[in-house]
Amino acid sequence: MIAETVCSAVSAAGLGIAAVTAYRKRFLSAARIAAYSLVPVGLVMTGVVGWAADTAFSPTAWAGFVVLGGAWLLFTGTRAVERRRGGTRKERRAARGSAQAEAVAPAASAPSLGPSTRPATRPAAAPRAKSGDDFSDIEAILKKHGI
């Protein structure tokens, strides 16, 4: 009963503000304020305010919200784990099978990832630059920018 009284008072105050706004020849703003001020009375008349008051003071309703929150946490947790693993079990199995099929070239007689028949050779080491040459590039950039 208190909620209905408060909603009626808020609507009356809003309609008063809308009347003052209309008196100042701002009819569009007055219509908008009047629309907003009628919402609380409409909510009271439809019973939404009574339902919300009953829900707010009901331990069963709060337990229901806790259960819904737990369900939401489980759902988001399982989705996060599924994304981290890379999809469903069928998708991972299909990806593993296609990766093994791609390891061998279609026209090759031996697997392309098999042991090599040539001895491993080391590439020739690039000659090292002098320590003075290392900073010459940096100095050139700094001079270019006037630093």
Query: Across residues 96-108, what is the average pLDDT?
Result: 62
Mean pLDDT of 58-73: 90
Residue 62: pLDDT band by 50, 70, 90 thresholds? confident
What pLDDT does residue 17 have?
95
What are the b/e assignments for 17-27, b being 16+ CB within 10 Å? bbeebbeeeee
Mean per-residue pLDDT, 19-48 = 93
DSSP for residue 123: P
**Residue-averaged pLDDT of the chain:** 81
pTM: 0.44
Choose the weakest-confidence range: 2-6, 29-33, 60-64, 107-111. 107-111
Specify the higher pLDDT residue, 97 or 140.
140
Listed in sequence order, the DSSP H helices in the chain are 2-23, 27-46, 48-56, 59-85, 89-101, 131-134, 136-144
- A 10 A CB-CB count for 132 gives 7
Average pLDDT over residues 53-73: 89
In single-letter form, the type of residue at position 105 comes to A
Give me the pLDDT at residue 106, please: 58
